[in-house]
């Protein structure tokens, strides 16, 4: 992500941080569709930050690169509108034209990112307009629209735009034998101003069915895209696409209170056959919201499926088969079962936030599908308060194939019965995760209940564990490697064979076949080893002499936060490699012409700050930023608004005691201690 000049990413320069990054991606490429015949101030759609970005300051939007100044964006809401209709009307000469805007999304406390708004424009002769409130002569033009979509015979490659503000009761649509193309897709969207068109099922039936039962080949559809529709209160599905349907896109659509019977899902795609495991029939979802369902939010049995920047509440996402699925920057909350179910190969779950699931956060489950799930990556996910397990790798029957090639990295797993549960699998890497708040069943539990000991070659390294009933429990399997973890608890490897434990901090470690270069936390002075042991800041101090350069070389190249390994003559013990100047002794940079005086320091609450040698014009554009040692901002203000006559006061009495960093602009840094 690009950083603004005056708002520098303090964490990278000053302190180590948890590997999970809550400011991972600020925005993504987003897609919209409009007819050529637009009016002034027509709505295009709403640009969004990612659901997973946790704002540091105020989020705002602007257009970095426009298209003939035809578009504008609301800096607060992200609503994109037509600012000059003359630059579009009469200017589109092809059936379909793609317009690209570059949108700047800014977090005032962190920086900005540039991403593309892709706006699909249908040439006027390929557009049909629908206004359910219209009465009069109907020709499908904007001035004489149709007044009912489900009465129309849909033609391949056309755009069908429903007027914003319409509320349509009891609509049901079915589409079959629509084979469009990537260059000329069939589009369903919205036009005008106001709320998105709303389709309300009155708690009856399903909304849109794609394909033809009994004639899957002849009735199949491809390249159908839906934009900016709101679908709610349908008894069954909001959308359902059967086998052989592919290249379906959903953009900026919301689906609320659908699938009320727990029969299948709000959005159903090709779920009838494992024969679709290797088929290539893409489905794409961007900026979609699914809220309230008695079943899954999405259940799709073909691939690749791409889910980007969506919100799913009260249900989950099931990739029941298919390959190369991707779920990214997506928020999943309050799932009554598993938030994400994976049964297909080569699936990636990245930068997702999963909270309050009534069962598992993510389950990778092998059932009857012969193709997976293998080759799975789970990266930079925040999973909290799952009733059972945060992440599960699960073979459902004793005779099923062994799953292999998994990577779980850079995640923050918090609170539940188990953190990571593996009942079988091979070639699994678990690295750079924070795992905390789980019960006696373990932060990581490896235990094959079928008794076949098919959990082998599981590597666990550079993880941090605390406040768990047990940290690692490898109760069977073989050839596990437990390297460079900081475990403020128990590691139990009894029952596994040929297991190696090296370079770990622990409180109890039993059952390792090979055991060396480890340190028992109960036998050391923690204040000499860790930056702030009571607050679970396990970065090494410069006086951690029995750890620094005392590890076994296990050939890793970076630690928990990306520090190169080794920094000295040998690796260090624990999850963090000590780097001079980056941990215990923060390097304070000063400018000869400017300075900050903080008093009292140490302080108990009210802190006075005086700036020396600042001209008014200089400090007006600077930022004052106070962060904790993990880089979390606790205060941020423009200096010009904060100071009077080069001095001011801030109240930090509500903060936890400890060390904080005060920074001004690019250069000046001071420590602040609260007692």
Question: For the chain, which residues make up each domain, given as ranges?
Answer: 22-122, 595-674
Q: What pLDDT digit, counting tens, does each position of 228-270 carry?
A: 999 999 999 999 999 899 999 999 999 999 999 888 899 999 8
Residue pair 519/547 in contact (Cβ under 8 Å)? The answer is: yes
Residue 464 φ/ψ region, left for φ over 0, alpha for ψ in the -120 to 50 degree band, beta for the rest: beta
Give residues with Cβ within 8 angstroms of 563, minimum separation 6.
Answer: 16, 576, 577, 579, 582
Classify 209 as helix, strand or coil. Answer: strand
Q: Which is more confident, 18 or 549?
A: 549
Instruction: Look at residue 601 and tell me whether its pLDDT is greater than 60.
Output: yes
**Mean predicted confidence (pLDDT) in 18-38:** 91
- Which pLDDT value is given to residue 514? 97
**Mean predicted confidence (pLDDT) in 304-329:** 95
Instruction: Look at residue 630 and tell me whether its pLDDT is greater than 90.
Output: no
- Which pLDDT value is given to residue 345? 93
Please count the helices (runs of H) and the strands (runs of E) in the chain: 4, 61
Distance CA 230, CA 307 (A): 18
Tell me which CATH homologous superfamily contains domain 22-122. Answer: Cadherins (2.60.40.60)
Distance CA 352, CA 379 (A): 8
Q: What pLDDT digit, counting tens, does each position of 176-210 carry?
A: 999 999 999 999 999 999 999 999 999 999 999 99
Q: What pLDDT digit, counting tens, does each position of 482-524 carry?
A: 999 999 999 999 999 999 999 999 999 999 999 999 999 999 9
Residue pair 359/390 in contact (Cβ under 8 Å)? The answer is: no
Distance CA 542, CA 529 (A): 8
Give residues with Cβ within 8 angstroms of 97, minimum separation 6.
Answer: 120, 121, 123
- The DSSP H or E segment spanning 143 is none
Residue pair 444/477 in contact (Cβ under 8 Å)? The answer is: no
Instruction: Look at residue 607 and tell me whether its pLDDT is greater than 90.
Output: no
Max Cα-Cα span within the chain: 88
**Mean predicted confidence (pLDDT) in 582-593:** 38
- Which pLDDT value is given to residue 49? 98
Other Cβ atoms within 10 Å of 13 Cβ, number: 14
- Which pLDDT value is given to residue 125? 97
- Which pLDDT value is given to residue 395? 84
**Mean predicted confidence (pLDDT) in 146-154:** 95
Structure tokens at 304: 């690749």
Q: Which is more confident, 224 or 262?
A: 224
Is 396 exposed, middle or buried (CB count within 10 Å of its CB: 0-12, 13-18, 19+)? Answer: exposed
Classify 274 as helix, strand or coil. Answer: helix
Residue pair 29/418 in contact (Cβ under 8 Å)? The answer is: no
Residue pair 208/238 in contact (Cβ under 8 Å)? The answer is: yes
- The answer to whether the 22-122 and 595-674 domains have the same CATH topology is yes
Give residues with Cβ within 8 angstroms of 515, minimum separation 6.
Answer: 500, 501, 502, 509
Classify 284 as helix, strand or coil. Answer: strand
**Mean predicted confidence (pLDDT) in 105-132:** 95
Other Cβ atoms within 10 Å of 319 Cβ, number: 29
Rg for the chain, CA atoms, rounded: 28
Among residues of the chain, what percentage have pLDDT more than 70?
88
Q: What pLDDT digit, counting tens, does each position of 396-441 carry?
A: 777 778 899 999 999 999 999 999 999 989 999 999 999 999 999 9
Mean pLDDT of all residues in the chain? 89
**Eight-class DSSP state of 497:** B
What's the CATH number for 595-674?
2.60.40.1930
Q: What pLDDT digit, counting tens, does each position of 286-295 carry?
A: 999 999 988 8
Peptide bond into 222 cis (omega under 30): no
**Mean predicted confidence (pLDDT) in 321-347:** 95
pTM given for the model: 0.85
CA 673 to chain centre: 34
- The phi, psi pair for 534, rounded to 5°, reads -65, -30
As a dihedral over the C-alpha atoms of residue 643, residue 104, residue 290, residue 44, rounded to 10 degrees, the angle is: 120
Instruction: Look at residue 10 and tell me whether its pLDDT is greater than 60.
Output: no
Instruction: Name, of 2-6, 426-430, 656-660, the range with top average pLDDT.
Output: 426-430
| pLDDT tier for residue 367 given thresholds of 50, 70 and 90 | low
Instruction: Look at residue 667 and tell me whether its pLDDT is greater than 60.
Output: no
- Which pLDDT value is given to residue 355? 98
| pLDDT tier for residue 384 given thresholds of 50, 70 and 90 | very high
- Which pLDDT value is given to residue 74? 99
| pLDDT tier for residue 4 given thresholds of 50, 70 and 90 | very low
Residue pair 473/445 in contact (Cβ under 8 Å)? The answer is: yes
Instruction: Point out the least confidently predicted range of 79-83, 368-372, 511-515.
Output: 368-372
CA distances from 613 to 618, 619, 636 (A): 10, 10, 21
Distance CA 445, CA 476 (A): 10
């Amino acid at each position: 992500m690009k950083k603004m000049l005056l708002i520098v990413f303090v964490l990278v320069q000053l302190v180590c941080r948890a590997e999970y990054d809550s400011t991972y991606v600020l925005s993504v490429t987003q897609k919209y569709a409009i007819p050529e015949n637009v009016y002034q101030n027509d709505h295009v759609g709403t640009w969004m930050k990612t659901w997973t970005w946790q704002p540091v300051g105020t989020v705002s939007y602007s257009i970095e690169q426009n298209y003939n100044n035809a578009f504008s964006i609301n800096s607060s809401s992200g609503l994109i509108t037509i600012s000059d209709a003359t630059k579009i009307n009469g200017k589109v000469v092809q059936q379909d034209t793609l317009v690209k805007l570059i949108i700047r999304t800014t977090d005032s406390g962190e920086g900005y990112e540039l991403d593309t708004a892709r706006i699909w424009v249908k040439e006027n002769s390929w557009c049909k307009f629908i206004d359910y409130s219209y009465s009069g002569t109907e020709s499908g033009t904007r001035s004489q629209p149709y007044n009912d979509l489900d009465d129309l015979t849909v033609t391949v490659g056309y755009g069908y735009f429903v007027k914003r503000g319409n509320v349509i009761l009891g609509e049901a649509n079915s589409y079959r034998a629509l084979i469009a193309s990537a260059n000329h897709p069939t589009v369903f969207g919205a036009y005008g101003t106001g709320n998105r068109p709303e389709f309300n099922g009155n708690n009856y039936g399903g909304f849109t069915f794609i394909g033809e039962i009994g004639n899957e080949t002849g009735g199949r559809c491809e390249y159908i895209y839906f934009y900016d529709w709101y679908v709610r209160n349908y008894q069954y599905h909001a959308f359902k696409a059967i086998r052989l349907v592919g290249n379906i896109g959903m953009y900026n659509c919301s689906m609320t209170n659908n699938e009320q019977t727990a029969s299948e899902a709000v959005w159903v795609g090709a779920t009838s056959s494992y024969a679709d495991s290797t088929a290539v029939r893409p489905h794409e979802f961007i900026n979609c919201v699914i809220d309230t369902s008695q079943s899954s939010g999405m259940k799709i049995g073909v691939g690749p499926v791409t889910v980007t920047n969506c919100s799913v509440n009260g249900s989950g996402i099931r990739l029941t088969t298919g390959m190369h699925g991707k779920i990214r920057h997506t928020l999943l909350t309050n799932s009554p079962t598993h938030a994400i179910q994976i049964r297909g190969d080569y699936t990636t779950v990245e930068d997702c936030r999963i909270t309050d699931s009534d069962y598992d956060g993510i389950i990778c489950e092998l059932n009857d599908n012969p193709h997976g799930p293998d080759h799975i990556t789970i990266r930079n996910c925040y999973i909290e308060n799952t009733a059972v397990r945060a992440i599960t790798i699960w073979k459902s029957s004793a005779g099923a194939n062994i799953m292999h090639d998994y990577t779980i990295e850079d995640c923050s797993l918090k609170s539940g019965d188990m953190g990571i549960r593996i009942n079988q699998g091979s070639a699994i890497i678990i690295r750079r995760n924070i795992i905390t708040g789980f019960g006696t069943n373990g932060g990581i539990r490896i235990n094959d209940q079928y008794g076949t000991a098919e959990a082998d070659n599981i590597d666990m390294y550079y993880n941090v564990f605390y406040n768990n009933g047990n940290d690692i429990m490898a109760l069977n399997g073989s050839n596990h490697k437990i390297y460079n973890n900081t475990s403020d608890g128990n590691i139990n490897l009894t029952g596994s064979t040929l297991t190696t434990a090296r370079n770990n901090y622990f409180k109890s470690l039993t059952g390792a076949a090979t055991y060396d270069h480890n340190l028992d936390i109960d036998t050391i002075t923690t204040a000499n080893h860790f930056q702030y042991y009571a607050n679970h800041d396990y970065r090494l101090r410069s006086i951690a002499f029995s750890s620094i350069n005392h590890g076994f070389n296990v050939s890793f190249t970076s630690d928990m936060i990306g520090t190169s390994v080794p920094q000295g003559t040998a690796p260090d013990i624990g999850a963090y490699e000590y780097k001079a100047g980056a941990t215990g002794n923060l390097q304070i940079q000063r400018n000869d012409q400017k300075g900050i005086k903080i008093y009292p320091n140490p302080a108990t609450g009210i802190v006075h700050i005086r700036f020396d040698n600042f001209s008014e014009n200089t400090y007006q554009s600077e930022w004052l930023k106070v962060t904790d040692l993990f880089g979390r901002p606790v205060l941020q203000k423009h200096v010009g608004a904060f100071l009077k006559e080069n001095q001011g006061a801030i109240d930090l009495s509500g903060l936890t005691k400890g060390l904080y960093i005060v920074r001004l602009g690019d250069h000046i840094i001071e420590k602040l201690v609260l007692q």
